[in-house]
Structure 1
């Protein structure tokens, strides 16, 4: 080749190379733009996923991005599990022409999935599951090469979306586009469950997808019968269609699915028997057909030896449990609760595996309890109540340290309760009631640190209560009634500060009722009837703030009825058949307590006709008797009289607005802001004329300073005030109070009420807050102070309160769980801007907590999340639920609890019952909301429904709630004011937003 020819060839090749490079550069530039659009639309505050997404970086080096071998085209986007929020710009990313995989699963993405998704026609993998999308799912017929489709638990809705988007002219039908599946013949995974689609029969398109090996259609409004064609899906290893409205029998064709590993049919309306041939499913490891109307025997189950989990609870199965189940070497979860089964349990049940739990409660089973279910030390729950089991509790369960629930009540068990049962270190409930068991509670109970409930009523238990019971500090319920316990109740029982229910009736207890019960501030129910208690009724019982029921009848109690009981709000009071004397307190002499004092011959009353009238001599004699008893039992009687007199003067001065002794206390002030007032300015305000209300933990007064500024002062009386304290207990209480106040005082947010300072003494705590002149949101929505709030104002209150809670959950050094979010704890300033208030129940989430939760039950009925009913583990998601209720109040104008909802029903139930059609959805809205803002209101209704999801995991975080509310900002209204000029022509004078 000549030099000239070589030069020409070089120039030509160089030209094509430059052209190719230019083309590649152009493609990469476009794809870079599409991906940067995606980055702009999403937020990932908790991860660094987008740090590499820079314009100066190669697209193929972006986190979550995969390119083809040439590096010229994006083929995969995988941003699952990244805590992402925002809406996906499908119109942009579906322009990536070579895109084969799109995965956004397990994030917090919201908004709608638009028709633009259909442009991603080359996808073989699509995962949008476990997000917070709204609206229906678009037609995806163009994706006929799809192999994997995950859209489960993504918030896609049916009818509700239709009406939430009525003003948006949405083209989505509200149902899943089942017809899109007709050409997806290669589909391997179809996961569409946990979405509230419109109800539809079992889609016929599904049974034609013969290559499916994973089919998840649980909880997505499927009805009708399972078609016989299900037998054609012979590649299935997983079939889940739980929690729908499936009717009819389990088709016999299902026995053809011999590769099945999991079969989930629970929560439907299936009838009939287990199909003959179910034994063919020999690879089945998980089988759940619970909560149906199935009947017949379990003979087909005896061949399924690979089972790890068998759940058939709440059906109508009868006959005996196949003995072969005792030989199953993999079975770990076994639940046949509430059926009609008879016979015995296989004696070897659980002997060969790491058995986890058994629940065979509410059957007619008999014989002994199998002894080896905790042989490998892994069992967590043993639930066998309400059967006919006999024999003793096997001693082997004393060493089962993993047990959290031990329930064998309502059987015919005999023998002594093994000592170690009482000391199981992880037990949360021990239920042995209604048997013929003997023995007593042993000192082993000191090891039961997590034990919350003891149910041991109606047995033959005896002996004294060990003082070590006070070491089981999580106890909230103790029922030892109808046994033969004797001796004194240990004084240390007062250390059980979480105790709410105490039932000791029908035993042989003696001695005095412990005064230490006063320390059990959560007690609501005390029953010590039919024992031999003596001495006086402790006056301190009347100081229990939540006491609702007190039964001390049929004992040997003497002395007077404490006047302190007058301050309680008892729905039940029974002091009958004792040896009480003196006058019945006037406030207890009401019809509600008729019969509460019968059988006490030395009582008198001026109002209760069944008793003799109290004469002055009688009252004087009773007073003298009380003085004698006091002198004999308390050496420092004079000191106590002086203390009582001092307390009387103090209370009197407070009521009269002259807090002389109150001011003379030794006060300690801690400021958290620059103060323009003195201690005395605040103390002077604590009087009746300045009283403005009662918060969750104290009375609130208005303090007007000399400069005209108003403050709010909460007066919290120390619970030990006026009573003998243990050494250092007052200091400890003060330290705890100061620690909590200091934490809350560090909060600086425009939507959280400002705490200026705390002023404390040995007797009282004063918290000085900013004064909010418009009261609470509750007042403005529901009381005589009700205001006609327009939607813009309601929205402003909602977004402000949400930002306050977001700050508490996400903006503090340690998250703060308020635990009593409600409209009465949202205060409004002069401009109706909201403040989150009343932290009487707030708890700081400990940084070393393993689950980020608090184990204290608190809150207000109607606002409390459902998990309060079954767990003590309450976290930020419980606040989210309560905030969702507040949103419903703002939207509907109704209270959380009203008679029209039905008995034991709340606003969440009522709203959900109205999500049927256009008219019922719109009927939810408060009449004070204008038609122009109904679309905006419906957007917030959608958010409220997400917040009040029954499952905490499905609720958004407050950070996500704020973002969704910001996107639901009301459209600006334009008012055109038209005036007429002198010539009669109209003109636009001005435009007002």
Structure 2
């Protein structure tokens, strides 16, 4: 141990007080100001450690220089109320960051008094109103100004250009509905300019913006830009990121865009750019190029093959042609290639995957030919392989059998042949294998990938039996093997799959009897075994499957009686062309199954609608004659008395009815062959048959025959005389629905009208409306809900199926009807569901027919529902198809979040809340419905959530068409997920196939 001399100890004791005194402390005034700020904000819990007994320079939210406060940083701490009016009593404040709180009020002009302020961040709060014209009174020293993600409106003031030292100006994600000044181009020190996500009036990009020599990041995503991109981009030599996505930019890509040597990221997706991609490329540091969803033509430039830092190339949904340059396949960092939906052709370079760790390889929907590259998974990281709908041929490379990272394998609609590599069936991470419509052969494996949920091999040449090992395919939800050469019996082991929803084995060579028990098929919804050689009786077990709604056993050799249990939940049934005998079970003995029993000579029915022979026989007639004459006389006397009473009562009722309704002359109009008239409907319009209420009146569930068939009848509200509005709604709905024939649009069977009453007769859909399933705790327990009463939670596969069906219906209305039909009131309660959860668009009372395609009509009044109305509709009363797209986007958000359309928070709708979530950078996972999310569905749900955001863009021109929506939903319904949303938010793999807004860039 070293012992200090006494003199040294004395020196330390002497210096110690000075050392303590030299520790930084704030002035009393600064400390008092900070404590007053805390009190002004009602003492938020996050600031509990702010007190008189501690030094503010030690508080984590405070920075100091010497003994004075220079910075306040309070982020995401639930601060409420306005900015304190005395905050600039902190005379040396240079840094103020209050982002992601609940601060309210107009722009805080009190900050004009902070004369030394250099950094101001008020983003992600609740400021409203206009930015004041005198904003130039902020400190002339200010370098960083962020007011993004608030509710500012109006114009961006010209005087903002007088803050000459600004290096970062961030005003994106507000409600600016005026203009932005071209004078911003005088801010020569500006390095970041973010103005996107605002509903500006349609504007061209000023040339002055492209003369900002220091500008590195320029984002004007979804800013209602029109016209061409100005030329002479060489005036921006420092440019690193250019994002002009999702606008109405036209014209060609400037020829000098890729001459900007510092450029690393370009986002121009979702515009109307035409022409060819510039082939002069010197931006050798490029990492991301996204030109997708435009109208580009020509070839992919050879120069892209020189971009050694490029990791993401997205050119999908254009009109590009020619071959893919071989040099692109040799880029060392390219791991995400998306060039699907073009007219590209020629062979795929065998070098793809050899020089880079490919993760996403999507070249689907082109005209590529030749073999699949051998080395796609050479680096062992390939997750998504999608080459479907091309002209590729040959065998699948054996190397893919060792690709342990693969999650999606989709090669359907090509000309591939040979067998599937053994290892590929068993890849541990594989979730979907879709290989239909090729020439594949071989037998099915005993073992499948443990988490494989979707296997589609239909329309190939697979042979042999279904292996006994099929019982281990426990995660399989969809198995489609139609139109192959499979043979043998349907094994009992196949019925052990608990998650199976769809099983299609039609068009094979199966023989023998079906398994007798199938209790594990509790989720089975669709079963098709037609066009085989199956024999024996139809098992009773099929009638015990609560979820089974579609069954096709036609064109086999089944015999015996039809089980009486069959039909509990069936909506679609085909037992035709078999050897069945006996009577039709009562549940099936109605007109809904008039095509279900044809070509079974042994079947009979007393219902003439089924087209079968009558079940009455001569022997039955003879036995009936043995009844004694005395008994007949007694019965005849009683019947005569009852008949007389009935005639008297009926006559009285008719007289009274005619007396009360002498002015009513009912007109019944049918739009297809019906077996009932108005006399079937009118007496049953009673309260016990009411199943719903709408803005126009009540909806009834009416039985129309003894076989259990029902129709839905909408009765328009009646006062004294039918008002003009309801008359228009009635005529509109009749005009539209009587002409439309589509499987995803509700059928209008007929209408009944008189001078002061209107009735519309629809097909009855047993699962009622989507909103009842999404927003109620228990499913409706009456009026024909298919199957037993079940919990209200719809799983994700059903939700995606519903979304695609509803989208198809709207797409038909917008793009296939001539003239086009705009619904104007799309919402979840107008999406009806049949027993198979097929979606049908209903309630066309507000619909209008456009005289010309894409023509804007102006309505005299605004109609629609809160939470679903597009903002421009409420403000301008102008109608085009984009208002339906907006409303459908809200439905997508309902399906993914489980929230109600009007339920964002206390100040916003669901669409506004979803955009706030996205722009704030919050994980998408936080927004999804916890009741249905599972790891295997997470990316699909994330993609649909983002599609909902795109559909609910503030600007109509930025929304996709329903054709594009259908295309994306169809892709999601068959495409495998490749990454999680966290990976995307953290800069990792991008899971979606949709050219959506890169929210992390804002």
User: Is the contact between residue 110 and residue 134 of structure 1 (CA under 8 Å) also seen in structure 2?
Assistant: no
- The residue matched to 1:502 in structure 2 has which SS? strand
User: Is the contact between residue 79 and residue 102 of structure 2 (CA under 8 Å) also seen in structure 1?
Assistant: yes
Matches of 2:461 and 2:197 in 1, distance apart? 49
Equivalent position of 2:541 in the other structure: 540
Deviations 1:378-406 (A, max 9, x none): 11100100001111111111111211111
Structure 1: gaps spanning 5 or more residues: 1-17, 160-170, 621-690, 696-781, 785-817, 828-837, 844-853, 870-883, 889-894, 925-935, 960-993
Deviations 1:332-385 (A, max 9, x none): 000100011111111111212221111100110111111112111111100100
Equivalent positions of 1:552-591 (< 5 A) are: 552-570=553-571, 572-591=572-591
User: Is the contact between residue 150 and residue 191 of structure 1 (CA under 8 Å) also seen in structure 2?
Assistant: no
Question: Residue 863 and residue 552 in structure 1: after superposition, are their counterparts in 2 closer, same or farther (change >3 A)?
Answer: closer
User: Is the contact between residue 240 and residue 262 of structure 2 (CA under 8 Å) also seen in structure 1?
Assistant: yes
Q: Report whether the alignment pairs 1:840 with 2:840.
A: no
Cα deviation for residue 950 of structure 1 reads 11
Cα deviation for residue 301 of structure 1 reads 2.0
Q: Report whether the alignment pairs 1:601 with 2:601.
A: yes
User: Is the contact between residue 897 and residue 907 of structure 1 (CA under 8 Å) also seen in structure 2?
Assistant: no
Equivalent position of 2:259 in the other structure: 256
User: Is the contact between residue 497 and residue 522 of structure 1 (CA under 8 Å) also seen in structure 2?
Assistant: yes
Partner residue of 2:109 out of 116, 119, 127: 116
- The residue matched to 1:26 in structure 2 has which SS? helix
Matches of 1:111 and 1:569 in 2, distance apart? 56
Equivalent position of 1:481 in the other structure: 482
- The residue matched to 2:565 in structure 1 has which SS? helix
Equivalent position of 1:236 in the other structure: 239
Equivalent position of 1:946 in the other structure: 912
User: Is the contact between residue 70 and residue 92 of structure 2 (CA under 8 Å) also seen in structure 1?
Assistant: yes
Matches of 1:213 and 1:591 in 2, distance apart? 69
Question: Residue 408 and residue 839 in structure 1: after superposition, are their counterparts in 2 closer, same or farther (change >3 A)?
Answer: closer
Partner residue of 2:61 out of 59, 64, 75: 64
- The residue matched to 2:358 in structure 1 has which SS? coil
Cα deviation for residue 692 of structure 1 reads 12
Partner residue of 1:349 out of 352, 374, 378: 352
Cα deviation for residue 280 of structure 1 reads 1.1
Equivalent positions of 1:761-776 (< 5 A) are: none
Question: Residue 152 and residue 581 in structure 1: after superposition, are their counterparts in 2 closer, same or farther (change >3 A)?
Answer: farther
Q: Report whether the alignment pairs 1:822 with 2:775.
A: yes
Question: Residue 267 and residue 172 in structure 1: after superposition, are their counterparts in 2 closer, same or farther (change >3 A)?
Answer: closer
Q: Report whether the alignment pairs 1:375 with 2:378.
A: yes
Matches of 2:329 and 2:919 in 1, distance apart? 36
Matches of 2:52 and 2:472 in 1, distance apart? 62
Deviations 1:705-758 (A, max 9, x none): xxxxxxxxxxxxxxxxxxxxxxxxxxxxxxxxxxxxxxxxxxxxxxxxxxxxxx
Equivalent position of 1:789 in the other structure: none
Equivalent positions of 1:403-552 (< 5 A) are: 403-445=406-448, 447-449=449-451, 451-552=452-553
- The residue matched to 2:908 in structure 1 has which SS? helix
RMSD of aligned Cα (Å): 4.7
Matches of 2:201 and 2:533 in 1, distance apart? 64
Partner residue of 1:315 out of 300, 306, 318: 318
Cα deviation for residue 498 of structure 1 reads 2.7
Q: Report whether the alignment pairs 1:340 with 2:337.
A: no
Question: Residue 568 and residue 291 in structure 1: after superposition, are their counterparts in 2 closer, same or farther (change >3 A)?
Answer: same
Equivalent position of 2:194 in the other structure: 191
Q: Report whether the alignment pairs 1:917 with 2:863.
A: no
Matches of 1:826 and 1:504 in 2, distance apart? 32
Question: Residue 559 and residue 288 in structure 1: after superposition, are their counterparts in 2 closer, same or farther (change >3 A)?
Answer: same
Matches of 1:404 and 1:198 in 2, distance apart? 44
Partner residue of 1:74 out of 64, 70, 76: 70
Matches of 1:941 and 1:534 in 2, distance apart? 64
Cα deviation for residue 590 of structure 1 reads 3.1
Question: Residue 903 and residue 29 in structure 1: after superposition, are their counterparts in 2 closer, same or farther (change >3 A)?
Answer: same
User: Is the contact between residue 518 and residue 541 of structure 1 (CA under 8 Å) also seen in structure 2?
Assistant: no
Equivalent positions of 1:782-801 (< 5 A) are: none
- The residue matched to 1:911 in structure 2 has which SS? coil
Q: How many residues align?
A: 674
Matches of 1:190 and 1:418 in 2, distance apart? 52
User: Is the contact between residue 454 and residue 479 of structure 2 (CA under 8 Å) also seen in structure 1?
Assistant: yes
User: Is the contact between residue 150 and residue 190 of structure 1 (CA under 8 Å) also seen in structure 2?
Assistant: no
- The residue matched to 2:369 in structure 1 has which SS? strand
Matches of 1:839 and 1:523 in 2, distance apart? 15
User: Is the contact between residue 192 and residue 218 of structure 2 (CA under 8 Å) also seen in structure 1?
Assistant: yes
Partner residue of 1:99 out of 85, 89, 93: 93
Q: TM-score under structure 2 normalisation?
A: 0.60
Matches of 2:130 and 2:906 in 1, distance apart? 18
Q: Report whether the alignment pairs 1:32 with 2:28.
A: no
Equivalent position of 2:297 in the other structure: 295
Structure 2: gaps spanning 5 or more residues: 1-20, 156-173, 622-687, 693-715, 719-770, 781-788, 811-826, 832-839, 850-862, 885-901, 929-1002
Cα deviation for residue 580 of structure 1 reads 0.9
Question: Residue 25 and residue 861 in structure 1: after superposition, are their counterparts in 2 closer, same or farther (change >3 A)?
Answer: same
Q: TM-score under structure 1 normalisation?
A: 0.60
Cα deviation for residue 312 of structure 1 reads 0.2
Equivalent position of 1:247 in the other structure: 250
